[in-house]
Amino acid sequence: GENVEQHPSTLSVQEGDSAVIKCTYSDSASNYFPWYKQELGKGPQLIIDIRSNVGEKKDQRIAVTLNKTAKHFSLHITETQPEDSAVYFCAASIEGGGADGLTFGKGTHLIIQP
Amino acid sequence: SAVISQKPSRDICQRGTSLTIQCQVDSQVTMMFWYRQQPGQSLTLIATANQGSEATYESGFVIDKFPISRPNLTFSTLTVSNMSPEDSSIYLCSVVLGPEQYFGPGTRLTVT
């Protein structure tokens, strides 16, 4: 089955700096890659996703890049703010829309230092 | 997006008992999933619950331990049976709406 590796497990950045979280996946058939933000005591919130027919997608301060050849994708957060502090999970699935359930990475605890 | 609610939000249960978790969605959805998130860990898929068919369980999860009902397109339940402390986790339901998957707030279960 699919295996998703996520790094780093913890990332501390100064407010205003950029943060980058990286994931790799094992199944070349995977074609849907969402990113979730989970705040303490809450369920995961979808923040951005990308499909394998595009290499990059951006939404305001958040961007995701995908390299199908290397089977890795990354989340980029620019101009970080205190409210960006949370645990971020990458995920992958074979069918678009996660119709077969998602395989998650282990998560990255992002800490924004004031 | 979908608005998903879960009941209860948290519970503390005795070893050997069972707990049924409810998931309600504000839209009709075909595909619904149940995940488990152990303390400080990532999410692991328990089963897929599509309306009108038997739930499909992932490796390591069995129907006798985690029976699921899906009576209609907006509701599902997950029961955690014969609980042990190892079942202490957050249990989350999620739905596919359009191209995306959304999660409920989770049910925080502690087994003593």
Report how far residue B53's alpha carbon sits from residue A71's, in angstroms, rounded to the nearest whole number: 34
- The burial class, CB within 10 Å (0-12 / 13-18 / 19+), for A10 is exposed
Report how far residue A20's alpha carbon sits from residue A12's, in angstroms, rounded to the nearest whole number: 11
pLDDT digits (tens, 9 = 90+) for A24-50: 999 999 999 999 999 998 999 999 999
Give the helix/strand (H/E) hosting A13: strand A10-14
Q: Collect all residues with Cβ–Cβ distance below 8 Å to B25 and sequence separation of at least 6.
A: B2, B3, B4, B32, B74, B75, B95
Report how far residue A113's alpha carbon sits from residue A11's, in angstroms, rounded to the nearest whole number: 10
In chain B, which ranges are E strands? Answer: 4-7, 10-13, 19-25, 31-37, 43-50, 56-57, 68-72, 75-80, 89-97, 100-103, 107-111
pLDDT band at A99 (very low <50, low <70, confident <90, very high): low
Question: Do A89 and A36 contact (CB within 8 A), yes or no?
Answer: yes
pLDDT digits (tens, 9 = 90+) for B48-87: 998 888 899 999 999 999 999 999 999 999 999 999 999 9
Query: Is pLDDT at B104 greater than 70 in this prediction?
Result: yes
Three-state SS for B86? helix
- The burial class, CB within 10 Å (0-12 / 13-18 / 19+), for A96 is middle
**Cβ–Cβ below 8 Å for A36 and B103:** yes
CB count in 10 Å sphere of residue B101:
25
What's the rounded mean pLDDT across residues B84-111?
A: 93
pLDDT digits (tens, 9 = 90+) for B9-53: 999 999 999 999 999 999 999 889 999 999 889 999 999 998 888
Q: Which residues in chain B are contacts of A105 at CB distance < 8 A?
A: 42
- Give the chain B residue whose CA is nearest to the CA of A106: B42
CA of A24 to nearest chain B CA: how many angstroms apart? 15
**Cβ–Cβ below 8 Å for A102 and B92:** no
- Give the chain B residue whose CA is nearest to the CA of A95: B99
Structure token digits, residue B35: 């995940």
Report how far residue A85's alpha carbon sits from residue A87's, in angstroms, rounded to the nearest whole number: 7
The whole-number pLDDT of residue A96 equals 56
